[in-house]
Amino acid sequence: MGILDRVSTILRANINAMLDQAEDPEQTLDQIIRDMADAIGEARGTVAEMIAQDKALQADQERSADLAQQWQHKAETAMARNAEDLAKEALRRKIDYEKNAQTYATQLQAQHDVVAKLKHDLERLESKYDEAIRNREQLISRHRRAEAQTKIATAAAQLSMLDPSSELARMDERIRMEEARASAVTEVNDRGRIEDRIDALGADDELDRQLQDLRTKVKGQLPGGSAPTERAA
């Protein structure tokens, strides 16, 4: 991959997206920064080389233009001395140098454009590199925070699946039912004891009544209606 392609790829790179897809964001970001530094070094070398070529082309263009002028002057001198053949040859060389100068001028303009683009890309790359250096800790911190939030959300989802509240509610309902049954048994037992006592009271009343009847009957059979003595009884 040429330097222009490498620089363009890095300039188009979305660092946040690359970090999101990375298994180890810190290593990925550090690698991106290293790649940027390497690309900057290569870009600077390339820019310097292109500038040197630019200067060389400019020197060749100026030299060709200067030689064209010199041969123009020689042609004029030869013509002034009636040396037409020499004047013609001088003009031929003058034309060749003019063509060379024009060719160099065209190449020089193209070279200027390439150098300008390389300088612009280099400035953008250096700016992006500085931004990555400044924001390294922030980017890593943001990614760690997002990763932690994801883990918390995952843990919460797992806990919700293992939520024991429904089981506790079921056990609570079961215990309440057992308590209700125990209360019902106690109430039934208490009711039975009360009825027994009431029945016992009724039995005592019947016994007292019959005892009174017997006492009255016996008193009625005795002479004079007096109560029987203990011996007679």
Residues with Cβ within 8 Å of 74's Cβ and at least 6 positions away in sequence, in order, are: 86, 90, 94
Render pLDDT for 119-159 as a digit per residue (tens, 0 to 9). 888 888 888 888 888 877 777 777 777 777 777 777 666 65
> Is residue 85, in this structure, part of any structural domain at all?
yes
CA atoms within 13 A on the CB side of 181: 6
Q: Quick check: 25 pLDDT over 80?
A: no
Find the length of the chain.
233
Total domain count, the chain:
2
> Is residue 233, in this structure, part of any structural domain at all?
no
Residues 123 and 205 in one domain: no
What integer best gives the mean pLDDT of the chain?
Answer: 78
Residues 124 and 201 in one domain: no
Residues 141 and 180 in one domain: no
Q: Which domain holds residue 204?
A: 167-222
pTM of the predicted model as reported, rounded to 2 decimal places? 0.50
Render pLDDT for 159-210 as a digit per residue (tens, 0 to 9). 566 555 666 677 778 888 887 877 777 766 666 666 666 666 666 666 677 7
Residues 49 and 92 in one domain: yes
Domain boundary among 145, 163, 181: 163
Residues 106 and 174 in one domain: no
Residues 99 and 133 in one domain: yes
pLDDT score at 39: 82
pLDDT score at 231: 44
Residues with Cβ within 8 Å of 20's Cβ and at least 6 positions away in sequence, in order, are: 143
As a whole-number percent, the residues of the chain with pLDDT over 70 amount to 69
Residues 40 and 110 in one domain: yes
Residues 207 and 132 in one domain: no
Render pLDDT for 38-54 as a digit per residue (tens, 0 to 9). 888 888 888 899 899 99
Domain boundary among 163, 185, 208: 163
